[in-house]
Each structure stands twice: as C-alpha cells, then as structure tokens.
Amino acid sequence: MLAAAATGVQVGAAIVASRFAVGEIPPFTLALLRYLIGLACLLPFAVPAWRRWRRAHAAPSSIDLALMAVLGIVQFGVLIALLNWGLQHVAAARAALLFSLFPLFTLLLAAALGHERITPPVLAGVLLSLGGVAVALWPKLREAVPAAGWWGEAAVVGAAGLAALCSVLYRPYLRRYPSLPVSAYAMLAAVGLLAVMAAAEGGHARLGEVSVTAWSAVVFIGISSGAGYFAWLYALSREAATRVTVFQALGPVTAALLGWLLLAEPLGASLAGALALIAAGLALATGAWTAFRQRASVSSSR
C-alpha cells in the first residue's frame, strides 16, 4: 500500500516537473529521455536480481517475454500517444478528470476476468476517490473551453482503459518473475518505440538549446519514473489491481499542491474537500476502514 501511494504521489510530481521541460523539449523526446534515465536507474539493480532469480528458475518462455514487451510498449508508447493526442484537443483539467476513470476501469476489468470481486466498500472507495479528483479539478473545469467534437475525450478515456488493462494483465507475470527485472524489461521495450516517435518529431535537434532548469526537471522525472514504475509493479505483485490503482487519485492533488508551491498556481479552497473524499475512498477501497472497525470491535470487547 505504501508503494502504491508513493506511485500516486510520483505521478503528480512528474506532471509538475514536466511543466518546466515541456516548453523546451517536444513531448515524445521528453518521454524518451524520461524512460532512458529511468531504465538507467533500474538496470544496475535489475540485472543482479535477474541473475539471482535465474539460479533457481528456468528461463521465461518466449511467449511470456513477447507479451511483457507488448505490455511495456502499450503502457509507455500507445498510451502516451493517445494522451498527447487527446491533450491537443481537450483542456488539461478535463483530461485529468477523464483519466481518473483509470481505477474504476481496473475494477470492472478485473471483475470481468474473475481476478477480483466488486464489493460495496471497494466500489464506494473508487467512486469517492473519483469524486475527490472531480472536486479538486472543479474550479479549472469551470474555466475550461471544451474542444469541438468528442475525439479528444475518447482518446483520453482510451488511454485510461489501456492503463487499466496493463494493470490487470501484468499480474500473472509479476507472480512468476521478480518485479524489478520485469520493470526494466518492459521499459526497455517501450524505449524502442519512443525512439521512433521522438525521431519523427525531430526533438533531438533542439536538445542543445535546452536550459539547465529543463534538464534538471528531466533528470528528476527520469529518476522518479524508474523508482515509481518499480514501486507500482511491486505493489501490483502483492495487492489486487484495484487496491493499487485507486491510489492514482493522489496524483492530481499532489500536482495541485506542488503547482501552488513551485509554480505559484492558485490553490482553491476545494482542495481540502478533495483530500477528505480521496482519503475516505482510499480507506474503503484498500480495506483500511474495515480493519480499523475490526480492531475497534476487538478493543471494545476487551
């Protein structure tokens, strides 16, 4: 649960850090640099972990390797392409709210595949967390100007669906193989596709003009992404996908707080209500509220 929460916070922090770099570095080039740095951070730990695991286990099948590579490409390539395309047509606040459907999609998909049961506390927790995100974004949503048509919205919702799909489909491989090597391998597969996308947008020609501030943001994003991605897979290997992905509701709130501290963005009074809703949602979805009630019941019986 701590790893899942850390991932939610990391996503929000990376969004704010990206604001310092995206004006100078094109989006796919920025994504490529982000995951190249993340991969460089993971490899020194992933390679020894893989060697230790291989001493007692057979090599993965070619099918498993291919499917894990596909999941990495979908998560870091196709998903990012959909998000970036959607953000060209949809206001950022509206896109963030649409993407926050990710935990709900995860719950529905996991239940459809028989991996989880939709219990009232979990469903209520997911919906409360979504409500908290909506409250946090409401002031900006009121100012957003909707783009013509629904293609942008469909792209963002599609990205949320792909994120949910990856969260659910990773679980069998995380039970068979150690989380750290899987993290590095999936990221390596994605880097190949991002390199093609970055070359197509010609971002490499502008890297010589990037400021120190932007490069500092890129380094932070890369290191935090490597650590955050491993924490996410670590959490998925030990907890149900819905209990992990519901913590992504912390991302928009983290971004709002850091935007206020670092970018002088206004912090609305609605944030306190958003934090209360998200805290309640996380408590329900992760079972923390049930555990608290059980402990309270045991204490009172004594």
Q: Measured between alpha carbons, how far is 277 from 149 in angstroms, rounded to an integer?
A: 31
Q: Which of 157, 98, 128 is nearest to 282 (CA)?
A: 128
Q: Could you read off the pLDDT of 71-95 as tens digits, one per residue?
A: 988 887 788 778 767 766 766 656 6
**pLDDT at residue 63, rounded to an integer:** 93
Give me the count of residues in the chain: 302
Q: Measured between alpha carbons, how far is 125 from 294 in angstroms, rounded to an integer?
A: 18
Q: Measured between alpha carbons, how far is 68 from 92 in angstroms, rounded to an integer?
A: 30
Q: Measured between alpha carbons, how far is 226 from 212 in angstroms, rounded to an integer?
A: 21
Q: Could you read off the pLDDT of 184-239 as tens digits, one per residue?
A: 898 899 888 888 888 888 767 777 788 888 888 889 988 988 888 788 878 877 88
**pLDDT at residue 292, rounded to an integer:** 46
Residue 215: phi and psi, rounded to 5, are -65, -40
Q: Tell me the DSSP string of 141-166.
A: HHH--PPSSSHHHHHHHHHHHHHHHH
**pLDDT at residue 67, rounded to an integer:** 92
pTM of the model: 0.70
Asked which of 37-46, 61-70, 115-124 is least confident by mean pLDDT, the reply is: 115-124
Task: Confirm if 227 and 2 have CB atoms less than 8 A apart.
Answer: no
What is the rounded average pLDDT for all residues in the chain? 78
Distances (CA, A) of 233 to 113, 122, 228, 230: 19, 20, 9, 5
Asked which of 96-100, 277-281, 292-296 is least confident by mean pLDDT, the reply is: 292-296
**3-class secondary-structure state, position 211:** coil
Give the domain ranges of the chain.
2-301
